[in-house]
Structure formats: structure tokens, C-alpha cells
């Protein structure tokens, strides 16, 4: 069914009406980052005439599809560098100025898209009477490698492009969301995994100030942000994989995107074995767009003023234990390597704190805590000195998750936040008859998330 025509600052859009919710898909928020705009910051879209259809999802960002399928894609999605699109679910395109919730998808900054079926914003928008937005941003080398110090004279390469994309999408929301029934002055950003890291990072990005009012970080790794020197190691190895020598970096501008994706995937795999617990791709402290490490910014009081809800899942590491190779430490060899790369003297003291180490449960506990839980606690403790902060832990596990021994694993919270138990991952979660109990947990979780978006407090008014 055709939905309302809305008027943005650049032109008219027409979406659909689906089960009493208005939906606009594939809404372009920035120019296509192709040709001369590859490795450049996003630019605003041009005006258009007539009414543009916003019925179908836009292409997903270039990414290694075999890994993407494991994170929720069907394998049939169209993939293209022209990927800077967002999607909107709203009860009505009216003047009610509902709270807006902008979802930043995760995927280790190398996979993911706002169009995944488990991110369907329909029921969150309907149950909470909020406007839900999901976004795409550039991934892998195209979004998160820093070539600025390797470029020759006259060659323009910019960094933190995925982060720039996120800010650009939030600027678009600020300028346009009122036409879709949302309140541009009450925007909550929320994201999981790399999306959670994006949230904890955006809280310290100067150009993002004023673009959102609340922040929810689900299973973030807040310390997965790198300095220039560390980031350069990844960029140099990436060029080696491609066989691009010094003085040839300009070739990246015209290289087929499939080669960039393949090299990104290889870099990810190499890094997970050589430096377990660190990502090959992530935000880079450049002293300008991202002035400092987010945790240091928080501790020094240079960020704040925005209520934060942050938390992790009880069994984060079990999902990674099924990956080959895992992205975080999930065996004793990786634990040893992690301490060897960071603080060898701390290994004995820390491993002794986990009962029955080196048994599997203890090993997975260390991987979970080192990557997600402890950095989140550090962030929350620092942030709470200056602003209202809440922490949660997601413990619920359905029968299917108990049988699979995944438990409340990484990403398990997503179908509960969105109530997308009809998605591929959601169906797996409730495959042994746990749907009724799962819905109760989902309603509770959605209630907290929506309360936070409406009132800056996850608890009901008066509590």
C-alpha cells in the first residue's frame, strides 16, 4: 500500500504503509561515495524534482559476503559502494513529534547494514510510538583504514569515513525527521557491537554534538579505538596484501571494489590471529574529527551532557567461539597472545581470578570481559562522574540457546530490542517453543529502551 508523501529539505519522498506503520526505505542521506568521493568525507545530497520512491532498501555496503551471511544477511542483497542510505519506520507522518531512535548496526566494522531483517523497526515503532531509523555506513578499508599519512603530495585521503557517515546521517535526521512524525530535538542513538562502539565514540566527536539527546550502547568495545601509529600498521599491511607499493597509493582510488573487500577480509583474519581482541578496522584518533581516545575524553570531562545506557550480555564470547578464526580470545593460545601483546605480567594475576582456568568457561569469561564487559564498566564509571548513566546485563537465554550452549551470547539482545522473532536469527532463538516467554522479555526490554528515548531514564516515570 502506498504511504504518505513527505517533503524533505531536498525533495519529496513516497514510502509505503505496512500493518499500520509508515515505512520509507533506501533514503539517500549523502552522495554516492564513488569515483572522486572514494576515501572522502560524505557530501550532502543534491535537490531533486518530482517524487522519489522510497519503497526498497538501498544496496548494502561492500563487505565479504560469506562472513556477512553469518551475521544475518540472506546472501541475496545488492551490494554497492553507493550505499549511504537510511530507513525509517513511523506510526504516522504527522505533527506529533515522537522520540526518534537511530540504529547504528554492528559487524566488526566490516559487515552489516541497516536493512537486516533483525533490525526491522516496525514493532519497536508501533509498540513504543517512536520513529525508528536504521542506517548504512562505509565498512572495512573503505570506511575504517587511515591512509592519510601514506598519501603523496596532492593525493587526498580522509580517515574515519564510517564515523563521518554516521554523523552525516544524524545531520540528515536533524534536518528532516520532523516531516516523518519525529522530534529532531529528541534523538536517541543506539547500536550493538561495532554499533555500540560507534555510540561510545560519537559521544566524544565534537561535530556530533547537538545531533542526539540520549545514547544506548549495547555490547560495545569502547576501547577499540586506535592511535595513528597503530592504525598505520593496518594500512601498510593492507597495501602489502594488495601488492601496492610506496608511491602507488593513488591506485586505491580506482581499484575494483571486490579487491578492496577481499583484502579487507584477509586483513581481518590475519589480525584476529596475530592480535586477538583488537579489530583491524575502527575509529582512529586524529586529533581533529576524533580529538582523543573516547575513554580519555570521558575521564577528562570533555564529553557529557547526554544520558547513557550501556551494557553487555552474559555469554558474549560463545558466538565468537564458533567462528574461524574468532575475533576475540576464545582459547588459551589466544589468551596468551593477548597478554603477550598487551601486559605479559598481568596474565597470571588475571587468569588466577577465573575459577578453573584454563577450562573453557573460564577462557570464554576472560575473552568476554577483556573485550566487552570490563571496558564497558570503565566507560560507565568515568561517564557517571559527569552525567546520568545506567548499566544493564542481558542474561536471558531461550531453550534453543541453552541447547546450543550459546546462552545469552553476543547479539542475542537485538531481536528482543526490536522484537524481530520472525527474522532468521529470531526464529533460531525461539525454535524450541520459547516465543511466549521471549515476548515477555522483549516487551520489558523495549519498555526500558523506549522510556530512555522518551524521558532520558530507562525506568517508568516516577521510578
Contact predicate 279/371, CB 8 Å = no
C-beta of residue 115 within 8 angstroms of C-beta of residue 72: no
Angle at the Cα of 39 from the Cα atoms of 44 and 223, rounded to 5 degrees: 100
CB 83 within 8 A of CB 65: no
Quick check: is 265 catalytic? Answer: no
Dihedral sign from CA coordinates of 371, 124, 61, 38: negative
Q: Is 248 a catalytic residue?
A: no
Q: What is the DSSP string of 343-377?
A: -GGGHHHHHHTSTTTTSHHHHHHHHHIIIIIHHHH
**Residue ranges in 194-227 assigned as alpha helix (H):** 194-202
Given a contact cutoff of 8 angstroms between Cβ atoms, the answer to whether 92 and 22 are in contact is yes
- Active-site hit among 4, 134, 193, 224: 193
Q: Could you tell me if 190 and 218 are in contact, meaning their C-beta atoms sit under 8 angstroms apart?
A: yes
Q: How far apart are CA 371 and CA 398, in angstroms?
A: 24
Residue 146's CB is within 10 A of a number of other CB atoms, namely 23
| Dihedral pair phi/psi, residue 275, rounded to 5° | -135, 65
Give the three cell numbers for residue 127.
Answer: 509498540
Q: Is the peptide bond before 343 cis (omega within 30 degrees of 0)?
A: no
Q: Is 443 a catalytic residue?
A: no
What DSSP string describes 278-309? Answer: S-SS--B--SSSS-S-HHHHHHTTSS-SS-EE
Measured in whole angstroms, the distance separating CA 256 from the mean position of its chain's CA atoms is: 26
438 φ/ψ angles, rounded to the nearest 5 degrees: -65, -40
Burial class of residue 49 (count of CB atoms within 10 Å of its CB; 0-12, 13-18, 19+): exposed
Q: Which of 164, 265, 410, 448 is catalytic?
A: 410
Residue whose C-alpha cell reads 567462528 in the numeric block = 323
Q: Which of 219, 264, 316, 373 is catalytic?
A: 316
Q: Could you list the active site residues?
A: 193, 316, 410
Amino acid at each position: 500500500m502506498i504511504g504518505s508523501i513527505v517533503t524533505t529539505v531536498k525533495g519529496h519522498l513516497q514510502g509505503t504503509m505496512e500493518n499500520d506503520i509508515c515505512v520509507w526505505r533506501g533514503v539517500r542521506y549523502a552522495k554516492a561515495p564513488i569515483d572522486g568521493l572514494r576515501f572522502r568525507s560524505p557530501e550532502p545530497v543534491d535537490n531533486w524534482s518530482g517524487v522519489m520512491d522510497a519503497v526498497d532498501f538501498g544496496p548494502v555496503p561492500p563487505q565479504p559476503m560469506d562472513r556477512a551471511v553469518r551475521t544475518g544477511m540472506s546472501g541475496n542483497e545488492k551490494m554497492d559502494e553507493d550505499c549511504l542510505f537510511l530507513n525509517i519506520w513511523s506510526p504516522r507522518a504527522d505533527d506529533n513529534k515522537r522520540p526518534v531512535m537511530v540504529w547504528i548496526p554492528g559487524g566488526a566494522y566490516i559487515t552489516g547494514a541497516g536493512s537486516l531483517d533483525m533490525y526491522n523497526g516496525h514493532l519497536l515503532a508501533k509498540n513504543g510510538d517512536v520513529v525508528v531509523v536504521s542506517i548504512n555506513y562505509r565498512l572495512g578499508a573503505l570506511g575504517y583504514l587511515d591512509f592519510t599519512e601514506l598519501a603523496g603530495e596532492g593525493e587526498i585521503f580522509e580517515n574515519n569515513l564510517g564515523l563521518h557517515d554516521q554523523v552525516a546521517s544524524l545531520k540528515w535526521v536533524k534536518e528532516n525527521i520532523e516531516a516523518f512524525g519525529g522530534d529532531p530535538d529528541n534523538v536517541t542513538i543506539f547500536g550493538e557491537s561495532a554499533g555500540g562502539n560507534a555510540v561510545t565514540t560519537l559521544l566524544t566527536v565534537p561535530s556530533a554534538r547537538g545531533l542526539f539527546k540520549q545514547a544506548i550502547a549495547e555490547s560495545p568495545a569502547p576501547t577499540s579505538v586506535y592511535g595513528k601509529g597503530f592504525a598505520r600498521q593496518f594500512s601498510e599491511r593492507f597495501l602489502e596484501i594488495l601488492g601496492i607499493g610506496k608511491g602507488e597509493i593513488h591506485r586505491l582510488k580506482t581499484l575494483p571494489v571486490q579487491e578492496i573487500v577481499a583484502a579487507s577480509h584477509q586483513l581481518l583474519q590475519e589480525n584476529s590471529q596475530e592480535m586477538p581482541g583488537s579489530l583491524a578496522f575502527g575509529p582512529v584518533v586524529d586529533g581533529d574529527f576524533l580529538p582523543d581516545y573516547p575513554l580519555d575524553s570521558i575521564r577528562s570531562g570533555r564529553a557529557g551532557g547526554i544520558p547513557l545506557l550501556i551494557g553487555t550480555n552474559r555469554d558474549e564470547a560463545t558466538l565468537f567461539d564458533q567462528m574461524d578464526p574468532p575475533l576475540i580470545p576464545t582459547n588459551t593460545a589466544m589468551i596468551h597472545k593477548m597478554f603477550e601483546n598487551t601486559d605479559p605480567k598481568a596474565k597470571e594475576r588475571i587468569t588466577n581470578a577465573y575459577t578453573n582456568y584454563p577450562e573453557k568457561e573460564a577462557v570464554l569469561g576472560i575473552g568476554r570481559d577483556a573485550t566487552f564487559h570490563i571496558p564497558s564498566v570503565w566507560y560507565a564509571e568515568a561517564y557517571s562522574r559527569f552525567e546520568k548513566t545506567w548499566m544493564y546485563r542481558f542474561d536471558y537465554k531461550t531453550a534453543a540457546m541453552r541447547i546450543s550452549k550459546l546462552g545469552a551470547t553476543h547479539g542475542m539482545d537485538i531481536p528482543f530490542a526490536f522484537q524481530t522473532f520472525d527474522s532468521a536469527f529470531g526464529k533460531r532463538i525461539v525454535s524450541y517453543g520459547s516465543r511466549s516467554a521471549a515476548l515477555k522479555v522483549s516487551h520489558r526490554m523495549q519498555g526500558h529502551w523506549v522510556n530512555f528515548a522518551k524521558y532520558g531514564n530507562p525506568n517508568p516515570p516516577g521510578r
